[in-house]
Structure 1
Amino acid sequence: MDLFSDNQLNIFDTHHNLLPFDGEVFLYPNFYQEDGVYDLFEELKHSILWKQDKMKIYGRQVNFPRLTSWYADNDKTYTYSGVVNTPIPFTPLLLKLKQAAETQCGKQFNSALLNFYRNGEDSMGWHSDDEKELSGNPVIASASFGATRTFQFKHKEQKNAKTSVALSNGSLLIMQGQTQHHWLHQVPKTTRQPGQRINITFRDIKY
């Protein structure tokens, strides 16, 4: 089964920038074909080595509100949110997904952070992907599988500058340029029960 669209065009030529200024974000809702996308979600759900990370809040350890996993094509650790991640080698499926994103972006990636949102209570708080290992103006390709969740942006200085987008099953979101310098993003909690979602953010880590 061919899981990838036959008419993949350059995302930067066919979609408008979702941010009003100080960054570039592009959404390709149907990056993966509808046929087979559910199978992709199920394979990722059952084949990825998920883990429950913890973070310290007001002096006590609490669980991250999601499951995570870190895959890479090297053996270098990567630290974010105080968690040291030891990479797992890419699976054949992750390599295929990564290569498709690379073709779309014209950018090579060497690592991927995966998040498993089990229900509406699972979330990702406001943050920027601005770790020193990403360097400069990183290009980050974010693939979504499963339930649709809202993805929000807000400017770091101009507090009234906000926008949001629905990330649906099989979509690809590209963040590039100065986005991480000027904008925060999050996946908020929801009282609805949207179902389960897996997100993969492909990155190029500089060591």
Structure 2
Amino acid sequence: MTLFNDTDLFMSGTNGRKDFELPDADVILIDNFFTKEEADYYYEVLLNNTNWKEYEMPMYDKIVTAPRMISWFQDKSDTIHSGDAPELTKELKEIRERVQVEVKLNFNAVLLNLYRNGNDGVSWHSDKINRSDAHPVTASVTFGETRMFRLKHKFRKEVPFVEIPLHHGSFLLMAGTTNSFWEHQVPKTAKKVLPRINLTFRKVIK
């Protein structure tokens, strides 16, 4: 089956890297971080072999089921509390290695999000910093349907929000003070879309 041919970014010779010039942020996008063949492979493996779970979250004065599914993996280590989190699979370790080589940082956990269709999304938020550094680095990989990723400054209303289409096989890095000064979201869409899998690699501390 031919997957996600909505972009020509997989053509050889294209770098696909963009450094965003944003205040109080370090954001880098690499569109063709994985080849088409690699992205297709990881998409199929993760979609079909991951133990996806629904979870509940607070919204205003009630608890609701989040409009997406998740799965959390973490290294087994004496320096962090792993709880019942499973060890990263072979494929997740392969993806992590590629990411770590690119950013020259080490990550010990990954959150997988499954956006099943256009009814799934995530509202404006910043990543939680408990069990992370004050300025956590998030290394994000996308497999599957292209979905829009939005960023907006928390305090400077005059700064326009940013829209970044995250394609099949792309890599997005948010570092520095991005998490402290910016919020992000993946909006829902009325379009008929196929599933999207997003991996966010993190450094969790005890």
The match for 2:93 is 95
Is the 2:17–2:31 contact (alpha carbons within 8 Å) kept by the matching residues of 1?
Answer: no
Name the aligned partner's letter for residue 60 of structure 1: K
1:45 corresponds to: 47
Q: Which residue of 2 aligns with 1:192?
A: 191
The amino acid of 1:151's aligned partner reads F
Q: Which amino acid aligns with 2:184?
A: H
The residue that corresponds to 1:169 in the other structure is 168
Regions of 4+ moved over 2 Å? 14-17, 56-61, 74-78
Partners of 1:202 and 1:74 lie apart in 2 by 15
**What is the alpha-carbon distance in structure 2 between the residues aligned to residue 165 and residue 59 of structure 1?**
32
Query: C-alpha distance in 2, partners of 1:202/1:20?
Result: 22
For residues 66-91 of structure 1, the C-alpha deviation after alignment (integer angstroms, 9 at most, x for no partner) is 0001000027558xxxxxx8411110
Q: Do the aligned partners of 1:130 and 1:181 also contact (CA within 8 Å) in 2?
A: no
Q: Please give the alpha-carbon distance, in whole angstroms, between the structure 1 residues aligned to 2:189 and 2:44.
A: 23
What's the CA shift for 1:16? 4.2
Q: Quick one: distance in 2 between partners of 1:32 and 1:38?
A: 9
Please give the secondary structure, in 1, of the residue aligned with 2:19.
Answer: coil
| Equivalence map 1:106-117=2 (5 Å) | 106-117=104-115
SS in 2 for 1:41: helix
Give the structure 2 partner of residue 81 of structure 1: none
Distance in 1 (alpha carbons) for counterparts of 2:100 and 2:197: 19
Deviations 1:138-187 (A, max 9, x none): 22110000000000000000123211100000000001011001000010
TM-score by length of 1: 0.85
The 8 Å contact of residues 156 and 183 in structure 1, kept in 2 or not, is answered as yes
Do the aligned residues in 2 keep the contact of 1:19 with 1:163 (CA within 8 Å)? no
- 1:20-72 deviations in Å (ceiling 9; x for gaps): 21010000000001123222111001111111101233443321100001000
Letter in 1 for 2:136: P
Q: Secondary structure at the match of 1:194?
A: coil
Once residues 30 and 59 of structure 1 are traced to their aligned partners in structure 2, the CA distance between those partners, rounded to angstroms, is: 42
**Unpaired runs of 5+ in structure 1?**
79-84
Residue 152 of structure 1 contacts residue 186 of structure 1 at CA under 8 Å; is this kept in 2?
yes
TM-score, L = length of structure 2 = 0.86
Contact kept in structure 1, 2:53 and 2:69, CA below 8 Å: yes
Aligned residues of 2:18 and 2:30 also touching (Cα < 8 A): no
Describe the shift of the 1:156–1:121 C-alpha distance in structure 2 as closer, same or farther (beyond 3 A).
same
Q: Is the 8 A contact 2:129 2:135 kept in 1?
A: no
Contact 2:129 2:136 in 1 (8 A): no
Identity %: 35
Structure 2: distance between partners of 1:16 and 1:170:
15
* C-alpha spacing 1:165/1:58, structure 2 compared with 1 (3 Å): closer
Q: How does 1:147-162 map to 2 (within 5 A)?
A: 147-161=145-159, 162=161
Which residue, out of 70, 73, 76, partners 1:74?
A: 76
Gaps of 5+ in 2: 1-9
